[in-house]
Chains A and B, each alone.
Chain A
Amino acid sequence: MTAPRAVALALAISILGSLALVAIYVFGGSIQLQGIGLALALGGLGTAIVIWAVGLIEAPIEVEERHSFAAQEREASIAEGAADGEQISRRRFLSRLLAGAGAILTAALVLPAFSLGPQPGTDLFRTAWRRGMRLVDAGNQPLRPDDIVLDSVTTVFPEGFVGRPDTQTLLIKVRPSDLALPSGRDAWAPEGCIAYSKVCTHAGCPVGLYRAREHLLLCPCHQSTFDVLRGATPIFGPAARPLPQLPMEVDPEGYLVALGDFPEPIGPGFWDMTHIPADGG
């Protein structure tokens, strides 16, 4: 086999190895296969370069004088090289193949970066709130409307998920007659108890402050202000979306329970937030 053929073959093996690596990463494969794939990819590339050096590069033997550093001088030698047209086009083809093999190998080597995190899937669209889940406070106590003091605010979670960041919800009690909720939501606030996601719709900070006299929720991060009586519409600051409201009712034992998850994604926005993926959940 001629040297150029051998180089091309070795590069082809390298490319196949890299593609195999990609496939193994995407579809899963054993550690042995991963090792073999990587060895083929690197081995093919290395072999190609070595054959290239030995068989394709005409390098005359050169002599470089050694100087004592006591008397320093420089000498440069220029190597001569001549190549005919056919050699040039063959070399160009091999160079391209080499670059291609290098690029595919790089891609195969970068791929494991995807191990760093899961796919977002439905995580940004859904929280753990489900129909029938009781609202509990940080101490895991379920709550009855009568237990809640007027104009007070409590951070609540779905029972079994206390402390889970994306489920944190603010439970506030107001006079039912003061409420002016968007249409269709009147039933979501039994006895003036109303619940909003605590995750700011601007950049996700917990909306930590409640000005009871004005019924305003304030986010300390960038001062977005939400009107509790009007469905937590933002009235000041950079937040543009209301805090999602948790649909609620009172269960037969008198405890507050969720009617389902928040109707919209909670927290900060993202470009395809209106394309809720179907997940059957």
Chain B
Amino acid sequence: MLTWIDERLGLADWARAGLRKVFPDHWSFLLGEVALFCLVVLVLTGVFLTLFYVPDATTVTYSGPWLPLRGQTVSAAYDSVMRLSFEVRAGLVMRQIHHWAALVFVAAIVVHLLRIFFTGAFRRPREINWLIGIGLLLLALAMGITGYSLPDDLLSGTGLRVIYSVVIAIPFIGPYLAFLVFGGEFPTSEIISRLFVFHVMLLPALLIGGVLVHLAILVRQKHSQYAVPRATEHNVVGRAFWPSQAFKSTGLAILTAAVLALMGGLVQINPIWSYGPFDATTVSSPAQPDWYVGWLDGALRLFPPIEITALGVTIPSPFIPGVLLPGIAFGIMTLWPFLEAWVTGEHAEHQILDGPRQRPLRTAFGVAGLLVFVILTLAGGNDVVALIFGVPVEAMTNILRVAIVVVPLLGFGLTYRVCTEMRDARAGIGHPRMVRLRRTSAGGFEEDDPD
């Protein structure tokens, strides 16, 4: 049978080479795989959800089994998600697995990105895959935001409203852009069906296409590797895809799905019945978005109340935290490989990865960026954080306003210091080093290398 196929397609050599492909054996190379497997789970559960979801803002009267909402006017979209959650067998578990998978998907991408960043895996020749990776991250975020908004509940509606306000804060073209995207002044009845088209057609097509290119480039360039024994700039040391890596990856895929199933079954997420349907004149509180947009909400909360009008032009207060900040953040991320090469003057190919301590500046910069993200995320839940610490929200906000400036700077300095010391200690600079000497058979002495 296999011979029969091979005589017609001639794939055996190609497959044999593929099966022999060497994978470095390190857990951190599996982070991207986790993201990939989440994507598979997302597609499978997503197809199921699509069969029941109705992308329609027309209002209907809710008459399902959830008593508190009986008789209320809701949109057909909200109604269909309620039906999916309460009346479709296995509907709720699919929805919750889908939502958890989305959160883990973005998380896996981000952790994968951090691994790439801190080990310098983005350097020549891998700049193209870094750029594609950033594009995939942005697509994943867009998928998350569009999907989150589809149920047309009060919480996600509030999120959409803030997004609309950020869009109109874009210099001059903002209102035009917002009217094109939303179909008019927020809230509009068009937006739900548009989000649906983006969420189930355009974005997934781009995302899956991008992932395929990402993987094709990875195979073509072969993996980078840590400085393990026998590793050089001209080889890959590890285990062959078949059987060890294939088994590991299959196992990882199924385990990822298992964990997502467990979360979907046991941990409630996005209970839209307790948020209620979207209503333009009310707002739910506290409003917590999904984890990966919390930092932007936090930036909006922390930014001081400044709205300058000069020369007939107003700079709306959400502009700096909502437009400029993410623009700069993603801009630096996108250009990092080129910025680093330009600053350090290093343009050589690198197949062997750095340890974070070997590059104090890069590591310190990464840590500072992470701290900005963490503090802004905390600020996104400043009411909750204030409640936990028992301080007034106002005080919490002021503390965080100071922290967002001070903590990343401290983190930068500290990381830089620690990394340089560790690096120098390794290299034996600046510190007296204990050395064990050994008498050689010839009568001289030589250093006994502890490594």
Contact = CB atoms under 8 A, between A and B. Distances in A.
Interface of A: 68-70, 72, 113-114, 116-120, 123-124, 138, 155, 163, 165-166, 168, 198, 202-206, 208-209, 219-224, 234, 236-241, 267-275
A118 B179 contact: yes
Nearest to B316: A269
B423 to A, nearest CB: 42
A268 B318 contact: yes
A70 B7 CA distance: 6
B165 A204 contact: yes
Contacts of B158: 205, 221
A204 B12 CA distance: 61
A223 B397 contact: yes
Contacts of A267: 165
A113 B194 CA distance: 13
B183 interface: yes
A234 to B, nearest CB: 6
A271 B307 contact: no
B6 A240 contact: no
B168 A268 contact: yes
B317 A238 contact: yes
Interface in B155-198: 158, 161-162, 164-166, 168-169, 171-172, 174-176, 178-187, 194
A205 B180 contact: no
B259 to A, nearest CB: 33
Contacts, number: 159
Contacts of A124: 168, 175, 185
B175 A205 contact: no
Decide if the interface of chain A is mainly helix, strand, loop or mixed.
Answer: loop
Interface stretch (B22-30, B131-139, B295-303, B348-356): B295-303
19 contacts: A113-B180, A116-B181, A116-B194, A118-B179, A120-B176, A123-B184, A165-B187, A203-B322, A206-B280, A206-B281, A208-B282, A223-B383, A223-B393, A238-B321, A240-B307, A268-B318, A269-B317, A270-B169, A271-B174
Contact of A274 (B185, B283, B304, B312): B312
Contacts of B201: none
Contact of A240 (B8, B165, B317, B397): B317
A103 B341 CA distance: 34
Most B Cβ at <10 Å: residue of A116, A155, A240? A240
Nearest to B174: A270
Contact of A72 (B10, B162, B175, B397): B10
Given A221-B158, A271-B174, A272-B313, A241 B186 contact: no
Interface in B280-310: 280-287, 297, 300-307, 309
B314 A168 contact: no
Contact of B303 (A69, A238, A272): A238
Contacts of B418: none
Contacts of B183: 116-118
A203 B314 contact: no
Given A166-B185, A234-B305, A268-B169, A206 B282 contact: yes
Given A70-B10, A119-B176, 16 more contacts: A116-B183, A117-B181, A117-B183, A120-B175, A205-B158, A205-B161, A206-B283, A208-B283, A208-B285, A220-B284, A237-B301, A238-B304, A268-B316, A269-B318, A271-B315, A274-B309
A274 B322 CA distance: 21
Contacts of A239: 305, 317
A271 B171 contact: yes
B180 A114 contact: yes
Contacts of B10: 69-70, 72
Name the residue in B10, B281, B305, B321 with the highest tally of chain A Cβ atoms < 10 Å from its Cβ: B281
B435 interface: no
A6 to B, nearest CB: 37
